[in-house]
């Protein structure tokens, strides 16, 4: 099907929360702007910490650096447009721009999933094979794995866009979502979307559940290794090195798995609640993660405290 013959839609309109009354548009845009500013400030602070001390130039912190970049890019891809929609009533987005946003949203989500897998691999080797860790997990190895994550993550979102772009969009152009994603766009197609939605669902499950299976395996192995440690202090110290990563992983995976499972076993939510859940797992982790990085990782916490003491010293 050719777009020029079957698609009469030249732009889409992002509605955001359909149940939100106009008198609350200003409040919604202010809240979203605060979230965006906090995300930028928090992640910029982490980038500044990385720019100075060599103590942070270690495999785990290199992974965190990549997560920071992915989080900032995802927030920048999604938040400015929905803020403009509520602040300036500028919800329109071009046909091509919408598909570009769709690609970037799914791309950065895929990158984060693969980076969390690498993070779990780092902790797995560090705790289960501590003597081999320096030989297996080197900075060069992590750089290669991170680069692979950024490259491999391109495939699935690109496939989604290639299959969704040629569909005939000849009716409604209103997107009941805060950004363009595959489900929201393909729902507007004037054709049976089943042949397109199922492969996209399978792809999402591979990207989501593939890394999650290894993450679960790695942390189960870590728990077994920790139980074998004789000293209670040693067990607590070892587990503390994983606490921050577990929080980050839970923030990313638990809400996503809940939404995917609920939608496929027949649990239905109101449109607004569904959008709230999606926005919470898409945008809150990038805002919260810098706090986890700084207060749940020893080296970053020490570096932050040293910088704070220097800045407050007379």
Q: Structure pTM?
A: 0.89
Q: Residue 249, Cβ neighbours under 10 Å: how many?
A: 22
Question: In this structure, what token pair is assigned to residue 24?
Answer: 């609350």
Question: What tens digit of pLDDT does each residue of 36-60 get?
Answer: 999 999 999 888 888 776 677 888 8
Task: Give the homologous superfamily in CATH for domain 11-301.
Answer: Rhodopsin 7-helix transmembrane proteins (1.20.1070.10)
Contact by Cβ (8 Å): 250, 136: no
Contact by Cβ (8 Å): 117, 215: yes
Q: What is the spatial distance between Cα 109 and Cα 309, in angstroms, rounded to a whole number?
A: 36
Question: What tens digit of pLDDT does each residue of 88-141 get?
Answer: 988 899 999 999 999 999 999 999 999 999 999 998 998 899 889 999 999 999
């Amino acid at each position: 099907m050719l777009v020029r013959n079957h698609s009469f839609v030249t732009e889409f309109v992002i509605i955001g929360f359909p149940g939100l009354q106009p008198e609350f548009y200003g409040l919604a845009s202010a809240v979203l702007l605060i979230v965006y500013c906090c995300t930028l400030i928090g992640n910029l602070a982490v980038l500044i910490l990385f720019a100075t001390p060599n103590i942070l130039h270690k495999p785990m912190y290199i992974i965190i650096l990549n997560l920071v970049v992915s989080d900032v890019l995802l927030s920048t891809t999604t938040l400015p447009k929905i803020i403009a929609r509520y602040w300036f009533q500028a919800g329109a987005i071009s046909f091509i721009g919408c598909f570009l946003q769709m690609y970037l949203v799914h791309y950065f989500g895929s990158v984060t999933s693969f980076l969390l897998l690498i993070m779990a691999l780092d902790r797995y080797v560090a705790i289960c094979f501590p003597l081999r860790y320096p030989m297996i997990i080197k900075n060069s190895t992590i750089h290669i794995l991170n680069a692979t994550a950024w490259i491999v993550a391109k495939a699935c979102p690109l496939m989604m866009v290639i299959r969704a772009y040629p569909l005939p969009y000849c009716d409604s152009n209103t997107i009941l979502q805060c950004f363009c994603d595959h489900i929201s766009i393909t729902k507007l197609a004037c054709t049976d979307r089943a042949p397109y939605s199922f492969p996209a669902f399978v792809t999402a499950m591979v990207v989501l559940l593939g890394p999650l299976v290894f993450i679960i395996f790695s942390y189960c192995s870590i728990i077994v290794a920790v139980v074998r440690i004789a000293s209670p202090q040693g067990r607590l110290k070892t587990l503390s090195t994983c606490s921050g990563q577990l929080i980050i992983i839970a923030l990313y995976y638990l809400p996503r798995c809940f939404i995917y499972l609920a939608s496929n076993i027949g649990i239905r939510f109101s449109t607004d609640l569904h959008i709230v859940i999606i926005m919470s797992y898409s945008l809150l982790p990038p805002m919260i993660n810098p706090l986890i990085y700084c207060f749940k990782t020893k080296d970053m916490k020490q570096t932050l405290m040293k910088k704070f003491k220097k800045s407050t010293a007379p």
